[in-house]
Amino acid sequence: MGHTANAKDEVYRALAERLHMNPVGAPINLTLMEILHRIYTESEALVGSKFPLIPMTLDTIAGITGVREEELKKILDSMADKGLVVDLPRRDGTYYTLAPMVIGFFEFTFMRTGDGVNLKELAELFDRYFRTPRVAREFFGSDTKLMRTLVYERLIPAAVETEVLSYEKASEIIRQSGGGALSLCACRHKASHLGKSCAMNAPMDVCTSLGETAEWIVRRGLGKPASVDELLQVLEQTEKLGLVHLGDNVLNEPWYICHCCGCCCSALGPTRKYGLSFASPSSFIPVLGPDICTGCGACAGSCQIKAIVMRDAGSGIKAPEIQQKCIGCGICASACPSGALTMSRRPAVNIPPVDKTDLLTRIAREKDRMHFKLGPV
């Protein structure tokens, strides 16, 4: 019996080691092992532990894992239904890739609402795991970020409007995608299972995915299809609530746009508390016109990451001081009743990686994990 238990533990340990080989890995500790034991069956863990580092077809994975194709297809379909594997059809067959933890099976797990999974238990485990310092360094430590901030477009100054490219505007990203899908916000869903309610009363069903990722999410029952108009309505709705738009940090074919609150979001929470950045800032930054500032503090109250501190400006008046961790979302300027805060172009504009391959290659290089390649998918 002990031998069997040890063999099973070795399978899950090998899976954990494989997951940590990704550009954004999953540092191994006891909490991670508890998570993996709950979301992977032993046969899924065995296949996952031997999964190639680049997307491969069924027959190639069968050769690597030693599992017969008929049996392997059933295992991979089960894994894809749970968001542990992403399967993408191509002209020469379907390619499979093992989902990382983030952005990956954490989000896909909490896009679900049941399927016999104890989401409360998983929420507690993921929450504990994300709070581990080593895990935070893994997710937030690279110079190249997985996400980037998208400024509220109506705040872009008219003087620079012609300089602003389509990748800087959430509405243009949505239009160019031709539509997508809407899913549960994984972070707010997780928070709800921890007994926490969103301070913003933000809706759950606004997580936006685009392009081929959206098609996969719909196919696997993790979301519902949405037209361009529906996605633009969500963009407007979440902006009225004062949520932060975070998108995929790429120029071409982005996979998602999130609408985030500082109280629930796993990306913004550490920025709010510790100044750790999971997202690149936008190309804009708030600038104060002190002559018309009334010191009301609406800007500081609206900031999702607490990047504004009200300081004494003399004569009993307080004025906002913008902290270095500001990501340039524009919420503060949107909330300012006097128009004293406006968004200005940063001196240095951050150009995102060209595509997902470029993004993950940069992160892998920064972490000395150049064995990783995204491959032909």
**Domain 2-138 sits in CATH 1.10.10:** yes
For residue 8, pLDDT over 90 is answered with no
Strands 244-248 and 256-260, by their bridges, are antiparallel
DSSP 8-state symbol, 353: P
Whole-angstrom distance, CA of residue 208 vs CA of residue 214:
8
Per-residue pLDDT of 113-144, as tens digits, reads 777 789 999 999 999 999 999 999 999 999 99
What is the rounded CA–CA span in Å between residue 174 and residue 376?
Answer: 25
269 neighbors 283 (Cβ within 8 angstroms): no
Own/partner long-range contacts of 169-172 (Cβ < 8 Å, ≥24 apart) = 170/235, 170/245, 170/247, 170/257, 171/232, 171/235
pLDDT in tens, 305-331: 999 999 987 777 899 999 999 999 999
Mean pLDDT of 254-272: 96
| Token pair recorded at residue 364 | 């892998």
Q: Domain coordinates of the chain in residue numbers?
A: 2-138, 139-282
First vs last C-alpha separation in the chain: 42
Query: What is the rounded CA–CA span in Å between residue 157 and residue 159?
Result: 5
Note the pLDDT tens digit of each residue in 189-248. Answer: 999 999 999 999 999 999 999 999 999 999 999 999 999 999 999 999 999 999 999 999
Kindly tell me if the per-residue pLDDT of 256 is higher than 50.
yes
Q: Which of 113-122, 156-165, 357-366 has the highest mean pLDDT?
A: 357-366
Whether the CB-CB separation of 23 and 367 falls below 8 Å is answered with: yes
* Residue 115 near residue 79 (C-beta atoms within 8 A): no
Model pTM score: 0.94
Torsion of CA 142, 147, 104, 60, to 10 degrees: -70
Residues 6+ away with beta carbon under 8 Å from 349: 283
